[in-house]
Amino acid sequence: MPLRLGPAGVPLSCKGRTIVEGMDDITSLGLEAMEIQTVRPVQPKHFDQYWQAGILSWDSGIEMNLHGPYYAELLGKRRERNRSLAKMEASMQAGKVINARHLVYHVGPYGEYDPGKEANEQVANVFAGIVDRVQSIWGDQDEEAYAAFPWIEKMEPSLVGIETSGRQELWGTVDEVLEVCNHVEGTVPVLNMAHIHARGHGSMRTSEDYAELFDKVRETYGGSKFYCHFAGIEHRMGNALHYTQIKKSDLKFEPFAEYLAEDGDWMDITIISDSPLLEHDAMYMMQHYDKARQRLLEIRARDERRVKLANERGLTPEELELLEAEVAEARKNLDESPGAEKKQGKTPAKAAGGMLSFDDKADEDDVF
């Protein structure tokens, strides 16, 4: 299963603060993805740095992604909506320069809309226009542009990601995002696990919760490629308050890692760490995924040995398991018997100097 992990921004441990230097650090840590944060308007002076990052991404294979302005009002009145789209325009241009595989956007408050069909249709109309704009930015190029941006000719345009929201007053439940993505080609759901957990009053606690979520996505949206955010989260009354490090949150990565290890072979997934610890929690997630994979391999190896042993004894695996349970129960009963406790209580005597004594009577006849 292809799994790529990376931080949302330049790693904290990076001595330099440029994107290219951050990408070097990401490679040295064994991570394979990065999300550039353009939560504020993109400045023209940044584009040279973005181009260098795009070239490095093209040469190294690091998956680059870009997060658009954090605050948006796509369901607001025309003035607010156009202002939001104007801010997003610069991030779409930057996405081409940096070879972004995903452009991630928020929708914002419901505004004058009620949750439901009308709001979803308006969001779908807006994102259909955004997808068209992204494709036009990538498509209208001359031959000189191909030399500077080789990925434009060889790669597909950036996918437009619609992120789930973490507050009740914001558009962006899982169902809303899936419905819009299912109707607008070129969009992809961005599953922010911290937001889903907070909005669901702490709903993501077991591997079964993740299985249910991804089954819903597969049935509604289809496909096997996923883009996710993960971080610890403080939440109250169905609303996200702020991100925290994973260890200090009631949203744990272990159940997600367990699901990915056991049932995620069909998935191609990128997970971005939104944690305040950025690359540290990305590494933490990678370690827990590796542990989950190792446990799964051990369980499978044990099951294979059991089947082989059952075949050698002429038993079915179920009969062998029953026999092992009977032996374990008998051993437990033996260990709990009074005679066994006395026997276990005998320990070799120690010499006065603190060393073990070898003057056992049972060895008196030993000629050696």
| Domains (range + CATH), the chain | 3-298 (3.20.20.150)
- Distance CA(214)–CA(126), nearest Å, equals 26
Flag the least confident range among 38-42, 64-68, 191-195, 316-320.
38-42
Cβ-contact 15, 63 below 8 angstroms? no
Give the pLDDT mean for 319-329. 78
- What's the pLDDT score for residue 180? 97
Contacts of 157 (CB under 8 A, 6+ apart): 96, 134, 135, 137, 138, 139, 186
Q: What is the pLDDT of residues 17-67, one digit of tens each?
A: 889 999 999 999 999 999 998 866 666 677 888 899 999 999 999 999 999
Q: What predicted TM-score, i.e. pTM, was given to this entire model?
A: 0.83
- What's the pLDDT score for residue 149? 80
Give the pLDDT mean for 288-309. 87
Two structure tokens written together for 160: 């437009």
Q: What is the pLDDT of residues 148-180, one digit of tens each?
A: 788 888 889 999 999 999 999 999 999 999 999
Residue 297: Cβ-neighbour burial (10 angstroms; 0-12, 13-18, 19+): exposed
